[in-house]
Chains A and B, each alone.
Chain A
Amino acid sequence: MGLQQMARVLLLLALTTGTALAHSDAASLSGGFMSGFTHPLFGWDHVAAMVAVGLWGAFLGRPAIWLLPVVFPVVMAFGGMLGVVGVPLPGVETGIAASALVLGLMVVLAVRPPLWVAAALVGAFAIFHGHAHGAELPAAANPLVYSIGFVVATGLLHLSGIAFGELSRWQWGNTAVRAGGAVIALAGVGFLAGLL
């Protein structure tokens, strides 16, 4: 067997073999993390809003590019705390769907409000997202690492939005970013109408 073939076989084995964990705690930790990490990724309404936050931040430039993705997880955690404690929040799903529509519109219309307005708007929507996650926390495999998982996944979605939004430095990129905002806003309409 040639070296290349052996490398392929080893790669295949590595990809198909499960991890052996000696400690049940460790398995539970990784399971809880993955459960939390994948939670925002499988909810399209969450994904659309998170990417929109990054896109808008990049579109607005500094300091919004870092301020919005910093404000969002912190206020989201506050919303999550409300959810864990059991404080009721009306219209959570509507708020989440509306966040995709409004933030998408901000990008497509190239709205440039004062920084504090942008931060307040993003923060207001973050409460709905956090509350939804927090309310579902207790059912998670390991709730402690679940919460870390979903915070990290949320941040990575913001970073992907920022990376895409950085294209707005160029003329063609600006058009692409605003088109991205349009897609998110349309998805928001779909979420609100219950079509998606």
Chain B
Amino acid sequence: MMHFFLQGLQHPLLYPAHLIALIGLGLLLGQQGMRQMRSGWLVFLLLALLGLELTQLGVADWRNEVLLLILAGIAGALLALRLGLPPWLCALLAGFGALLVGLDSAPAMIPGMKAMKIQAMLAGTLVGASGVLVLLALTGYLLRNLLDGIVLRVIGSWVLASAMMVLTFMLVKP
């Protein structure tokens, strides 16, 4: 059982689109302050859970990764611009990202695989993705005033640039 949980735990780290989106969202929430960080994380947790469980209902697979990369690009641009965002917008971005991460983390269906193992994998993904988000948000919170916020602005541009490149590559060479 633990093996499946650990597999789920590392899932968000092994998919570039997931990782870029989590980096962008996490740092953005941290940059915006404690209130946005708390509400964003709570919404992320709930909607990631919803997205993960929806994978078990066979929800149609849209191009989740493409949408995740677009979201990462938006988060990167907002980080670079360092605008003060209202909490509802941060929650909306976090919720949208969470839903996409969840929907895009369906475990491979192996015939005869027990439901508990699938749930362990989904739980691992939930803990992994929300844990990474919290760590990044705390990092963003600590860095938000360092060198007048330059460090986070520069990282935001990297997130935007990486999302653009990965998105292009996915669309051109699927």
CB pair A73–B173 under 8 Å, yes or no, is no
**Taking chain B's interface residues, is the majority helix, strand, or loop, or is none over half, making it mixed?**
helix
Beyond A29-B14, A85-B168, A147-B166, is A70–B148 a contact (Cβ under 8 Å)?
no
Is there a chain B Cβ closer than 8 Å to A134's Cβ?
A: yes
Number of chain A residues whose Cβ lies closer than 8 Å to a Cβ of chain B = 34
Q: Which of A78, A84, A152 contacts B169 (CB 8 A)?
A: A84
Question: A residues within 8 A CB of B16?
Answer: 29, 144-145, 148
CB within 8 Å for A81 and B164 given contacts A62-B148, A66-B150, A145-B16:
yes
Count residues on chain B whose CB falls below 8 Å from chain A CBs: 24
B residues less than 8 Å from A84 (CB atoms): 165, 168-169, 172-173
Does B155 lie at the interface of the complex (its beta carbon under 8 Å from any beta carbon of A)? yes
**A70→B164 contact, CB < 8 A:** no
**Do residues A69 and B172 form an inter-chain contact, with CB atoms below 8 A?**
no
In the complex, whether B103 has a CB less than 8 A from a CB of chain A is no
In the complex the two chains form, is A70's CB within 8 Å of B166's CB?
no
Q: Please determine whether A155 and B158 come into contact, CB atoms closer than 8 angstroms.
A: yes
Q: Does B37 touch A at the CB level, under 8 Å?
A: no
Interface on B for A, CB 8 Å cutoff?
Answer: 14, 16, 20, 80, 148-150, 153-158, 160-162, 164-166, 168-170, 172-173
Given contacts A80-B164, A80-B165, 9 further A-B contacts (CB under 8 A): A62-B148, A70-B157, A74-B157, A77-B162, A134-B165, A134-B168, A138-B173, A151-B161, A155-B155
Q: Would you mind naming 19 contact pairs between A and B with Cβ atoms under 8 Å apart?
A: A66-B149, A66-B150, A70-B80, A74-B80, A77-B164, A78-B164, A80-B168, A81-B164, A85-B172, A137-B165, A138-B173, A144-B16, A145-B16, A148-B20, A148-B166, A155-B155, A155-B157, A155-B158, A158-B154
